Structure 1
Amino acid sequence: MLLRLIRQNYSFFLPYVILLIVVGSMLSQLDRTVLMRWINGYNHPFWDRFFYYLTDLADGATGFGVAVGLLFVRFRWALAAGLSFLLAGEFTQLLKHVFYEGELRPSAFYKNSGWAFHTVEGLNLHSVNSFPSGHSTSVFALCCLLTLLVTNKNWGWLFLGIAVLGAYSRVYLFQHFVVDIYVGSIIGTVTTLVVFAGLESYWKNHPKTWLDRRVRLRRSL
């Protein structure tokens, strides 16, 4: 089931794997400060505003809203979305607050470094619990799920682009290091893929008619 889903949705997974290899190579060869200085140096007022608002798309609330919206399309999709987002989010929070609790974010890490890094006006910079990125987990979980659900698989390219921009916004806004969004993207993608494949396989062997139903709004006269 997993391999079949990956093959069917190659427009998302193929470029994503290539991206993982490229960014992973950069992380293994370059110091994180080098990457942060390079990214932080490419800033512009337009991108400041663009990423300031775009980053909200990567918030967990967006995924929750999509899960609720899917109740009006198909129950099975809403359940898959809710379980995927819940498990991915909880695993990320476990890493953040238990195994990597207190991990400094860029603004705190470079606070006394003498580096006058660029920040976006009006943005509240967090200081701890940097690894991994919760926003990156959420946006990749969401975009992976949408790719799995849509009939036109060419949309996978668009969904991957949205996920990458959402995750990149966290580094541009100086909220996370590159490794934070890298791992967050893997958690979101893998969790969603495994949950979706597992549920589809189970439901195939244990069919339930109500799973293909949806919430219907009653029309008022």
Structure 2
Amino acid sequence: MIDLFRKNRAFFLTYLVALVGVGILQLIYTKEELIRWVNSYNAPWADVFFDNATYLGDGAFSFIIIAILFIRSKWMGILASGSFAISGLLSIFLKRVVFPHNLRPLKYFEHSDWEYHVLKGLDIHSYNSFPSGHTITAFAVFSLLAMLDERKGRGWALALLAILVGYSRVYLFQHFVEDVYAGSIVGTLSTLLVFYYFNLWRERRRLKERTESMGDL
């Protein structure tokens, strides 16, 4: 496991800096103050940008990644399918079973006199806010791509893409910061564990096949 972190340090160090930084902000400020701050920095170009960037955390995007990985390698496709299936099931379980009544920002501030910024025509949900499903998917996808990528130096860019999706969920008034924070942890850990144990299983299988082939000589 340590070797896995070392090989992918560009991704994990970038993510760790963001995790610690946002964690400190949550200790200093309330979730209401944080979303007010994010919501106050809006612009027409940002509305368009984040409205499209958030789809990198959509389930359809993860299916596209699975299809591409299957084309490249059968084991990569199987690994991606397992990783995204587990992260998706965790998302559903946490949102609908453990935290079913957590309010989304729009419902939370329903009776507030705060004039918040929302995109016109955007479908914003009211419940199942914690954790952010899009963020879980984004971190599951991009952490997996970072670990599969032979060019480890660009792992930081993949981490930033995942972080971008998380920020988009707050910008679009779909989630609080705490929702995307938890989502990033769930997505990353689920992929990390699946990747580690899947490769451990493959290595043991190879060793067993090698031993059996030597025994037949």
Counterpart Cα distance in 2 of 1:82 and 1:64: 8
- Hey, what does 1:34 align to over in structure 2? 33
Task: Structure 2 unaligned segments of length 5 or more: list them.
Answer: 208-217
Per-residue displacement from partner, 1:160-209 (whole Å, max 9, x unpaired)? 1111111110000000000000000000001101100101111011029x
Q: Which amino acid aligns with 1:87?
A: I
Q: TM-score under structure 1 normalisation?
A: 0.91
Q: RMSD of the TM alignment (CA)?
A: 1.0
- Hey, what does 2:121 align to over in structure 1? 122
- Percent identical among aligned pairs is 40
Q: Out of 32-41 and 21-30, give the one that drifted further.
A: 21-30
Q: Which amino acid aligns with 2:107?
A: A
Q: Which amino acid aligns with 2:121?
A: G
More helix as a share of residues? 2
**Map 1:56-95 → 2, pairs under 5 A:** 56-95=55-94
Q: Out of 24-33 and 171-180, give the one that drifted further.
A: 24-33
- Hey, what does 1:151 align to over in structure 2? 150
- Hey, what does 1:216 align to over in structure 2? none
* Divergent runs of 4+, >2 A: none
Task: Structure 1 unaligned segments of length 5 or more: list them.
Answer: 209-221
Q: TM-score under structure 2 normalisation?
A: 0.93
**Map 1:185-196 → 2, pairs under 5 A:** 185-196=184-195
Q: How many residues align?
A: 207
- Hey, what does 1:100 align to over in structure 2? 99
Counterpart Cα distance in 2 of 1:39 and 1:56: 19
1:198 aligns with 2:189: no
